Chain A
């Protein structure tokens, strides 16, 4: 941190506004530019938005307060289950589903956070992990009446869907699809719904990060002892951050269910919790944009890499002599398709070892290099204050 921030806060109202507008523009035009990199289809774009939200929320806890939760997928799962139940009982409209998912996730986060936040450091991580594993195991076993166990919870034509019943539009024959007041949440409308929610979620996260409350969270990460001796009761602060990030996870879970009304327990497994940690770190913990980038990069490469097979690889390496080609395919084959997780693991390790600040840190370094060779000092771009 050699260079001093331009202001004592590293940001200003104006730069944040520009940043937000740019972000919104980038998200809303994603179908256009994403097709250039072969990602221009709603399924993947939705995933970007949903996991982006999940990571933004996770970052409010981990990035700001430094508390590393290893059980955030529990809230994602809770959100999905609640949303599907909302579809089943109330109707296929996504708004009540999102609303109730966030409320339920908040209640879970309150209970889990209240207990887990009594401890810090690795104890906290293990406690959150323990709660997530309990939720996962229970969802698979005794809670089957609520979760439908291994099969997963789905919407059936025969479900009551009270609101639709009252309005007299309940279709009891075909499998219903989710909608926003009649606009079906499939394809691009589905993506745009998620995109708008993402932008709102991003705005709220920015609001929090720039507020006195957010500054207190950063101060807790920086030196909790000082916070206590400065007259702050840190526990309500961390608990509030935990609940907010749990609500983001619940929201993401509801959106997953909105785009595909199915909820399964595997969403709560601890590897899923690990994934959101990965996204946040890869992008850059503590930054606003980083988690979204991290989520997008991981989901993008997951899509690309897992689609590769030996044939595609053979074509890629056909400029090599035959024996080399086979060897190259054999090695590369480890990392793609089924082996995509290997790539993820390797990239993840490299990031933690060489670039702990993630992609955002990388961008900053490149910018600095660029600026030095440029010689001229320029006005701060929004991405720097991110």
Chain B
């Protein structure tokens, strides 16, 4: 059963076609990787899922509901969380607060004038956030300002912020870009561990090592459209894919 169904999505910028009749089905509980050369439209597609961009035509259905014409927070409240290419965190707040905030959104919805209790009195939320920080290995730094973290740690923090919301669909935009090999492997392990919870994931990735260690299914995009789809093994041998990557044929 597919949880996300994308049909006939088109998007142009000033006459330039960024997305051209994109179709995509993402199965419940799977890790679905989207790969492709730079400018293939991967990030644009992701932006169409979270309300950052509106497609010109086409439909995006998430678990029976359209994701189009909704504001970002509404889509998140439906159960879609996103990790960005450059980590979007709260640099001026402590790590614990960083993870507690999304937990509040999960519990209280898009707006609640919750000004009477103290934030350190919200034990349930705090414990949940702390547990999540432990899981990504940042619990010891819970009192630090998030802005002081290394780039890799920021990514892990952002992942914790998304996971604490128990999303049904997690979008990851190059979760290992710019990471060292060791950090990359840590992240893969982490993603595998959380994969056991049945969260569906869409991963945009350049690093084929990551793709092949994680993905159940791979879609290849080039020039704004999906040119191939299949299991990692099928994709590896697909001549169309190698052609799309041309010079960088490391498949």
Contact = CB atoms under 8 A, between A and B. Distances in A.
Interface of A: 1, 4-13, 207-208, 210-216, 218-219, 221-223, 225-234, 236-237, 240
B122 interface: yes
Given A5-B94, A222-B90, A225-B88, A213 B115 contact: yes
A240 B113 contact: yes
Interface of B: 50, 71-73, 76-77, 81-82, 84, 88-97, 100-102, 104-106, 108-122, 142-145, 147-148, 161, 165
Contacts of B93: 215, 218-219, 222
Contact of A9 (B97, B108, B145, B165): B97
Nearest to A207: B115
A229 B50 contact: yes
B115 A211 contact: yes
Contacts of A207: 115-116
Given A231-B102, A231-B105, A211 B117 contact: yes
Interface centre among A9, A227, A232, A240, by most B CB within 10 Å? A232
Contacts of B121: 13
Given A215-B101, A229-B73, A232-B110, 5 more contacts: A212-B104, A218-B92, A221-B92, A226-B90, A230-B101
B82 A229 contact: yes
A114 to B, nearest CB: 15
Interface centre among A212, A215, A230, by most B CB within 10 Å? A230
A12 B120 contact: yes
Given A1-B145, A5-B143, A236-B111, A228 B119 contact: no
Contact of A212 (B88, B95, B119): B119
B95 A214 contact: no
B237 to A, nearest CB: 37
A11 B161 CA distance: 23
Given A219-B101, A229-B88, A7 B111 contact: no
Contact of B114 (A13, A211, A228, A229): A211
Interface centre among A9, A10, A212, A214, by most B CB within 10 Å? A212
